[in-house]
Chain A
């Protein structure tokens, strides 16, 4: 089975710091990591390969430095990494990102399943997976928490919903996006790290993948950010003092004044 995993590089910090005066990111933490959700995507790819044989290619659209992150994926079991990098890709929103990835994936050619993370933690959109599927003309399943069965041209999976889960089947090739529940990513092996060290990551430009310049990058992005700002938190917190019993009593009195309806 030929597996493609899409990964994105995101800022590394746990708490992204924002400069309140300028509404911009504080830049001392320039380090970047693989999007946490994408580690589950890579792991699921590796498990599928272990179960069915075949090959995993990880692909990312990003700046040249992203090659290092693709190598990390090789260290945990991916076979190849491909980097789409070109000024022409810059400024992409999700629609333009999906166009670039679709062009890259079409150049890779032979694939059975494409795995994405549920969402990227910088933009939090979760849109690239379904948009990519649409561009490739194949079905998709979002929020997959378990692959129940996979065969040459068919997958049956559990999708997490807002109220539980559902079991969906679709034909392959398809795109799935995965949630954290699906697996526990492994650490790199020594052998993997050696392989990663030697790996060469090809860099493909927009011309290399024959991307339509009107569909990628800023030109291909219908949406435009016009303003960024720090969220205002204007809450006057009332701290309730006293001995614990008193605190509890006062709190409950205040809350009961709200006339909440409590089902009996």
Chain B
């Protein structure tokens, strides 16, 4: 029987288990440990106990049995209108490394309409094989059809690892497919490594808004599936001379489709797409007034960058939600990120801390944003920002 129990005779009340529990699920009562209701049976306390005072018999599921027939690392090649999402190349870079370490092939799964040219590109970026499914009905991303096709290929070819970008589409398709196959899926990973002993994929991801990192494995089920945060992994230099196999696959279609995409609307607006921008200038509550966002926009325009915002600025109604960066907004990773009047709350950092260079302007020298900034300026953003814009204009001859 699965369960956890304190063996009172052995418990010395040392409280090591309390510190070991990541879920606050142990407390001390009359110098004896007590397991609370919110215990998730992770076993950390039992591992930590030096006195064999925790009887822990959490029976894990048996899994899928023999896993040796599952081979190769797959990348789902998300594309729109025949153009691959930039995250796909990052995944191929990461996937290549994993495949080489495992001595397996790297394959991409390409689903769409008239997307053959993308296949060649996927090979240039590191794929050994491309499973290519092409049909007019697959023109637009459709959860139902794409899930049918990806699941079919997984069931047929049995990959060891399947990576998807943690985009809106990837985070919708991934769980649908994982549930159909009955395997695990780790969301929004920022680190992927192979464990040398077990050959399992170790998937590291932020939780609690980036306060805590967790490393997760999927030991007894295949494929090991993960969505991967865009702009964290590095793509390889493309090599158009690389050779690989393009394997055309029959499209899985059905008559009684339940889901239809009626319209796809791009809302780039005045500014560049935050996810693709090399430079992002973001404003926060420190701007003090919605009209001061003009200062942010001016610098962004001068540098050909995009405009971002903290949640406080969005909640105040200064700028639309689509500009929000952070845990509940977008995750970005530009070359330069300007944080103007942003305190640097963990939820904001969760969305931008993988930027190459972070510039912070804040009047409070103790603002947490300075802990992650490459360059910090302590000062009044309303004064400094126009000066920075002017300096750039001068230097760039604008």
| A residues apposed to B, CB below 8 Å | 11, 14-19, 22-25, 27, 30, 36-37, 63-65, 87-88, 90-95, 98, 121-131, 133-135, 138-143, 156, 159-171, 174, 179-181, 214, 217-231, 233, 235, 237-240, 244-245, 247-249, 251-252, 254-256, 258, 260-264
Contact = CB atoms under 8 A, between A and B. Distances in A.
In this complex, which of B19, B173, B265, B391 has the most chain A Cβ atoms within 10 angstroms of its Cβ?
B391
A142 B192 CA distance: 26
Nearest to B87: A162
A237 B373 contact: yes
Contacts of B104: none
B335 A260 contact: yes
Interface stretch (B59-67, B112-120, B287-295): B59-67
Given A134-B176, A163-B266, A218-B58, 15 more contacts: A24-B19, A63-B37, A121-B208, A124-B327, A140-B176, A141-B259, A164-B265, A169-B259, A180-B328, A219-B2, A226-B215, A229-B215, A244-B383, A247-B377, A262-B396
Contacts of A248: 377, 384, 387-388, 390-391
Contacts of A133: 176
B275 to A, nearest CB: 6
B143 interface: yes
B380 to A, nearest CB: 8
B41 A217 contact: yes
B196 interface: no
B42 A127 contact: no
Contact of A94 (B23, B185, B261): B185
Interface in B10-45: 19-24, 37-42
Given A230-B213, A237-B371, A219 B61 contact: yes
B175 interface: yes
A171 B179 contact: no
Contacts of A90: 39-41
A223 B184 contact: yes
A138 B147 CA distance: 13
A163 B269 CA distance: 10
B286 interface: no
Contacts of A98: 179
B327 A223 contact: no
Interface of B: 2-3, 19-24, 37-42, 58-63, 80, 140, 143-144, 147, 167-169, 171-176, 178-180, 182-188, 202, 206-221, 258-268, 273, 275, 278-279, 302-304, 321-322, 327-328, 330, 335-336, 345-346, 353, 357-359, 365, 370-380, 383-384, 387-388, 390-392, 395-396
Contacts of B3: 87
B185 A95 contact: yes
A156 B258 CA distance: 12
Q: Is the interface of B mostly helix, strand, loop or mixed?
A: mixed
B189 to A, nearest CB: 11
Given A63-B38, A163-B267, A262-B303, A255 B357 contact: yes
A91 B61 CA distance: 12
Contacts of B384: 244, 247-248
Given A63-B37, A255-B359, A223 B176 contact: no
Contacts of B169: 161-162
B264 to A, nearest CB: 5
Interface pairs A-B: 9 shortest CB-CB:
A222-B184, A164-B267, A248-B387, A223-B184, A134-B179, A125-B187, A263-B304, A252-B391, A91-B41
B377 A240 contact: yes
A228 B259 contact: no
Contact of A229 (B213, B303, B375): B213
Contacts of B22: 23-25, 225, 228
Contact of A240 (B303, B321, B375): B375
Contacts of B210: 231
A165 B373 CA distance: 33
Nearest to B188: A124
B206 A165 contact: no
A260 B59 CA distance: 55
A16 B267 contact: no
Contacts of A255: 336, 357, 359, 375
B273 A140 contact: no
20 contacts: A18-B208, A18-B211, A18-B212, A30-B24, A36-B328, A63-B37, A91-B40, A95-B178, A95-B183, A139-B144, A142-B143, A164-B266, A222-B218, A222-B221, A223-B186, A225-B215, A235-B358, A248-B388, A262-B304, A263-B304
